[in-house]
């Protein structure tokens, strides 16, 4: 689904679809967005596919506030090996301030912005022999900049693709089966996300 949306976006940019809508970037405009790839990936690949929702409200012409939520959950139950069950769950929140630039070819609205994020990830492995568990919990705080473009396929309906450059600081603890919690310290990372966030946005109301 993610690749299909990205291909559609690229085709739209090249051909400037004849049925395109008008960008909605005026004060009071707002949308509900549905994302694939997790709001800039959220660095949650270890917890399975990440889907998310976002809401955006224009505070003034071309400037908006966006709030994104991401969630990922996976579980496997291998029939052989040390563990009988592997579980992972992640939740993230990402507020952002976004500025739209002048439209391209009428229906495509480039944008850029700054974003912060918080992600909590929990991994649990259950031993086959006795049912005890290893547990890992990680909290990640991030900040970064993003750039993307939004194509208004119809009035009030748009698709977007976005890349971001982020700095992340992660800390966590590990509790082995039958043991006590161990502080894992802090690790940092910085760089571009390896894949684009793509999404579908539905505008509500508007001026």
In tens, the pLDDT along 125-142 reads 999 999 999 999 999 999
pLDDT in tens, 47-77: 344 468 899 999 999 999 999 888 888 899 9
Give the pLDDT score at 12. 56
DSSP secondary structure code for residue 61 in this structure: T
In the block, tokens 């909590």 appear at 120
DSSP 33-69: EEEESTTT-TT-GGGS--EEEEEEEEEETTEEEEEEE
pLDDT in tens, 148-202: 999 999 999 999 998 889 999 999 999 999 899 999 999 999 988 756 778 899 9
Give the pLDDT score at 193. 73
End-to-end Cα distance, the chain: 32
Enter the pTM of the model.
0.79
- Spatial neighbors of 96 by CB under 8 A, at least 6 apart, are 65, 66, 67, 68, 113, 114, 115, 116, 146
Instruction: List the Cα angle 99/105/110 in 5-degree steps.
Output: 20
């Amino acid at each position: 689904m993610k690749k299909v949306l990205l291909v559609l976006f690229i085709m739209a940019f090249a051909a400037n679809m004849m049925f395109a809508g008008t960008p909605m970037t005026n004060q009071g405009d707002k949308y509900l967005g549905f994302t694939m790839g997790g709001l800039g990936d959220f660095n949650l690949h270890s917890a399975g596919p990440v889907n998310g929702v976002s809401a955006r409200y224009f505070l003034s012409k071309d400037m908006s506030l966006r709030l994104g939520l991401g969630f990922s959950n996976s579980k496997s139950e291998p029939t052989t090996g040390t563990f009988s069950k592997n579980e992972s769950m992640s939740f993230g929140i990402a507020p952002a301030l976004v500025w739209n630039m002048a439209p391209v070819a009428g229906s495509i609205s480039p944008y850029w912005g700054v974003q912060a994020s918080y992600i909590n990830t929990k991994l649990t492995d259950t031993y086959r022999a006795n049912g005890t568990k290893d547990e890992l919990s990680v909290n990640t705080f991030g900040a970064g900049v993003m750039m993307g473009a939004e194509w208004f396929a119809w009035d009030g309906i748009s698709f977007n693709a976005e890349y971001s450059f982020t700095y992340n600081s992660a800390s966590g603890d590990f509790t082995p089966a039958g043991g006590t919690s161990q502080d894992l310290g802090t690790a940092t990372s910085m760089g571009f996300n390896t894949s684009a966030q793509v999404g579908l946005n539905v505008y509500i109301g508007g001026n």
